Amino acid sequence: MDRTFVMIKPDGVARGLTGAIISRLEKKGLKLVAARLVCVTETQVMDQYREHAGKPFFPSLKSYVMSGPCMPMVWEGRNAVAVVRHLIGATNPAEAAPGTIRGDLGLDTGRNLVHASDSPESAAREIGIHFTEKDLVEYRRVEEPVLYEWTE
């Protein structure tokens, strides 16, 4: 199975949407394998958003992500990165499709509730910023046999 990194940002936590966001990912069939509620450090923000350093919006992004608790998580499932990106919707909630997390729950690009990895490589890097291999749990969801056509 593939893994991806998702982080509920301070606005999602402050608005009490952590349960709703987690529920959408679980209902899709993805498996939560790590999660914690934390205030991320400047080093973690710099590492996680390194591709945005130097862009005009970066200081605001950095300040915002460090402004309150976040919930970093690791999710597992077939094509996890693409599935999660589809579920969360476009970066700008005004352009995100109805039925997506951002389309249904967000209003502003600067407060778009959730971060999700954009590639398997980014997922591996971002997971490593927030979790160790020891933090990731292994288990089988009871519905896995009906979620996947196993081709081995």
3-state helix, strand, coil in the chain (%, to 5): 45, 15, 40
The whole-number pLDDT of residue 64 equals 96
**How far is the CA of 87 from the CAs of 12, 23, 27, 65, 84, in angstroms?**
15, 12, 11, 21, 5
**Statement: residue 15 has pLDDT above 70:** yes
The whole-number pLDDT of residue 145 equals 87
Assess if residue 136 is contained within a domain: yes
Assess if residue 150 is contained within a domain: no
Tens-digit pLDDT profile for residues 21-39: 999 999 999 999 999 999 9
The whole-number pLDDT of residue 151 equals 62
Assess if residue 47 is contained within a domain: yes
pLDDT band at 152 (very low <50, low <70, confident <90, very high): low
Assess if residue 152 is contained within a domain: no
Is 73 in contact with 38 (CB distance < 8 Å)? no
Tens-digit pLDDT profile for residues 75-116: 999 999 999 999 999 999 999 999 999 999 999 999 999 999
Give dist(CA 104, CA 121) in Å, integer. 28
Catalytic residue list contains 115: yes
The whole-number pLDDT of residue 97 equals 98
Number of domains comprising the chain: 1
Mean pLDDT of the chain: 96
Residue 111, domain extent: 2-141
Assess if residue 149 is contained within a domain: no
Which CATH number fits the domain that encloses residue 56? 3.30.70.141
